Amino acid sequence: MSFEDMPVEVGVIYEGERVRKAQMYAEFGGPKVTEKFELCRAKTLDEIEDMKVIIEGPDISELEEGKSYPLGVIAEVSGEQIEEELEGVFERRLHEFNNYIQGWMHLNQRYDIWMRLSKDSFNKGLNTFQVVGTILMRLYKAELPIIEKIQMRFITDPEAIKPYYEEALQIYEARDARARALSDDDVEEFYGCVLCQSFAPSHCCVITPQRMALCGAISWFDARASARIDPKGPNFKIDKGEVIDAFKGEYEGANEALKEKSLGEVTRVFLHTMFELPHTSCGCFEAIAFYIPEVDGIALAHRDFRGPTVNGLAFSTMATSVGGGLQTEGFLGISIEYMRSPKFLQADGGWERIVWMPADVKERVKDGIPEELFDKIATDADTMSVDDLKGFLKEKQHPISERWAEEEAEEAIEAAAEEGAPMMPYPTSQPIQMSSMNIPLTGAGQDMITLTLKGVKIFAEKAIIKRTKGKKGK
State residue 85's pLDDT score: 87
* Of residues 438 and 88, more confidently modeled: 88
**Is residue 382 a contact partner of residue 309, using CB atoms and an 8 Å limit?**
no
- 58-117 residue pLDDT tens: 999 999 999 999 999 999 999 998 989 899 989 989 999 999 999 999 998 899 999 999
Residues of the chain above pLDDT 70, percent: 85
What mean pLDDT is predicted for residues 313-317? 92
- For residue 356, the cross-strand partners are 299, 378
State residue 178's pLDDT score: 85
Query: Checking DSSP bridges between strand 297-302 and strand 354-356, what pairing results, if any?
Result: parallel
Contacts of 47 (CB under 8 A, 6+ apart): 76, 78
| First vs last C-alpha separation in the chain | 52
- 23-49 residue pLDDT tens: 999 999 998 899 999 999 999 999 999
State residue 181's pLDDT score: 85
Closest CA to 302 of 379, 196, 192: 379
Cα dihedral value 362, 364, 368, 372, nearest 10: 40
What mean pLDDT is predicted for residues 203-228? 92
Domain 12-176 annotated CATH 3.30.60.50: no
Asked whether residue 444 carries a pLDDT value surpassing 50, the answer given is: no
Contacts of 210 (CB under 8 A, 6+ apart): 182, 183, 184, 341, 342, 343
Asked whether residue 326 carries a pLDDT value surpassing 60, the answer given is: yes
Give the CA angle between residues 279, 283, 289 to the nearest 5°.
Answer: 50
State residue 450's pLDDT score: 47
State residue 195's pLDDT score: 83
- For residue 289, the cross-strand partners are 300, 332
Asked whether residue 459 carries a pLDDT value surpassing 80, the answer given is: no
State residue 151's pLDDT score: 98
State residue 374's pLDDT score: 97
Q: What architecture is domain 182-390?
A: 3-Layer(aba) Sandwich (3.40)
pLDDT tier, 361 (very low <50, low <70, confident <90, very high otherwise): very high
**Is residue 34 a contact partner of residue 159, using CB atoms and an 8 Å limit?**
no
Asked whether residue 449 carries a pLDDT value surpassing 70, the answer given is: no
pLDDT tier, 428 (very low <50, low <70, confident <90, very high otherwise): very low
CATH 3.30.1650.10 in the chain: give the residue spans. 12-176
Asked whether residue 275 carries a pLDDT value surpassing 90, the answer given is: yes
Asked whether residue 452 carries a pLDDT value surpassing 70, the answer given is: no
Asked whether residue 424 carries a pLDDT value surpassing 50, the answer given is: no
Asked whether residue 211 carries a pLDDT value surpassing 90, the answer given is: yes
pLDDT tier, 196 (very low <50, low <70, confident <90, very high otherwise): confident
Among 225-239, 322-336, 384-398, 456-470, the range scoring the smallest mean pLDDT is: 456-470
The burial class, CB within 10 Å (0-12 / 13-18 / 19+), for 159 is: exposed
Give the CA angle between residues 92, 94, 95 to the nearest 5°.
Answer: 80
Q: Angle at which helices 400-418 and 386-395 pack, to 10 degrees?
A: 110
State residue 5's pLDDT score: 94
State residue 221's pLDDT score: 92
State residue 100's pLDDT score: 96
State residue 103's pLDDT score: 97
CATH 3.40.970.20 in the chain: give the residue spans. 182-390
What mean pLDDT is predicted for residues 412-423? 58
Asked whether residue 405 carries a pLDDT value surpassing 60, the answer given is: yes
* Of residues 320 and 255, more confidently modeled: 255
* Of residues 328 and 395, more confidently modeled: 395
Task: Determine the 3-state secondary structure of 180 from DSSP.
Answer: helix
**Whole-model pTM?**
0.74
